[in-house]
Structure 1
Amino acid sequence: MFQGPFKRFLSFLSPDFLRISAPDKFESNNPVPRKSYGKSGDLTMAKIIFDRMRLRSTSSWNAMISLHAQSGRLDLALAQFEQMTERDTVSWNSMIAGYNQHGYDLEALTFFTRMLNESSVKPDNFTFASALSACANVEMLKHGKQIHAQTG
């Protein structure tokens, strides 16, 4: 069913891992599972593990959003984002960068504006870089100037 490095990664998982009851230090700080899913392209297994977590940390939500966005499934990334109760800079950046990387410049800028207007989370340098990148389109130059003024 699974091949290569992802199959090897799965062999290290114990049944207890799939019954995670609360996020722990390993889960929130270890990028290995996320990278393994991303390289294998197996979002299904990532979703199974995520769905079996009784309590989900912001980091676990962000990992799923990032996986969906990187794979071009921005609809699923947005659905996960909207389900989150607590968002951080990584949550917003994943959406803005995801839209930007897949050529949805207007959506990236709309999300950036939404972050500024609806959230207490402050943009960081990555946020500004992603938003400015979306402005590379000549039609977006006006927006780029407005964003640049806020980096002051």
Structure 2
Amino acid sequence: MVKLMISAVIVLSASLIGYILSYNYVQRPKQIKNLILSLQLLETEILYMLTPLPQALKKIGSKGNTELAGIFKEAGSLLETRRGYDIEDAWQQAIEQKIRFTSLSEEDKEILIDFGKNLGSIDRENQIKNFNFIYAQLKKQQQTAEELRAKNEKMYRSLGVLLGLAIVILFL
């Protein structure tokens, strides 16, 4: 009876580890999609509603309840403090501080940092091009993330269960 309970705990624990390892693969495509939506809202705020960038960033950050909202809130807050931050520095610092709470990759991070180099510092036409460029890049990243999710999610979950069963078999 004790062996059966220990075996069940081992299989469940190993399965849980498999699910935890697959978590980033599941979350990354969703977060990229949410990021695209947030950037579209930001584009609307600064190009069409003519909201000043610090307020627009904070507004987008307050609308989102995802891990990504912190990036927008932090960038807006840094710009409002007027401690010598330009838009590029505030955006980059916000990304550096908040990206660890997301499932985004290093490549996603670099795309966001590059986007911030032109954010708010170019004319309207080029700003639109900057937004369109990041949308194209993020959609490509989303497609890649979805392919990785399809490939790795099931593998990690299955490996967790199989590893648990293998340990139980060795234990018996």
Q: State TM-score, norm by structure 2.
A: 0.29
Larger Rg: 2
- Select the structure that is richer in helix: 2
Q: State TM-score, norm by structure 1.
A: 0.32
